[in-house]
Amino acid sequence: MTDSPVLQVVSGDPTPEELAALVVVLQSRSGSAEPPQPPPSGWSAHWRRTRPALLAPRPGAWQASGWQ
């Protein structure tokens, strides 16, 4: 592995602040700094959070629900 510089100033005399600004801009253009997140598992699926209807409408459903 060589220790060649990633950036090299070929003309001018930039200040450390200018070089830092350049590095920030180049880093932001290269993509996200965070690793990609894995896709959510089936346990967090929307349909697992929704509750089915308590009872289908039918004769005697009110008594079968436990509400007396």
pLDDT digit string, tens, across residues 17-37? 999 999 888 888 776 667 777
Closest among 11, 4, 46, 6 to 26, alpha carbons compared: 6
Q: Judge whether 1 lies within some domain.
A: no
Q: Judge whether 57 lies within some domain.
A: yes
Q: Judge whether 11 lies within some domain.
A: no
Q: Judge whether 28 lies within some domain.
A: yes
Q: Judge whether 2 lies within some domain.
A: no
Residue 62 CB partners (closer than 8 Å, separation 6+):
none
Q: Judge whether 34 lies within some domain.
A: yes
Q: Could you tell me the pTM of the whole model?
A: 0.39
Q: What is the pLDDT of residue 14?
A: 93
Structural domains counted in the chain: 1
Q: Judge whether 7 lies within some domain.
A: no
Quick one: what percent of the chain has pLDDT higher than 90? Answer: 18
- Its domain, for residue 48, covers 16-65
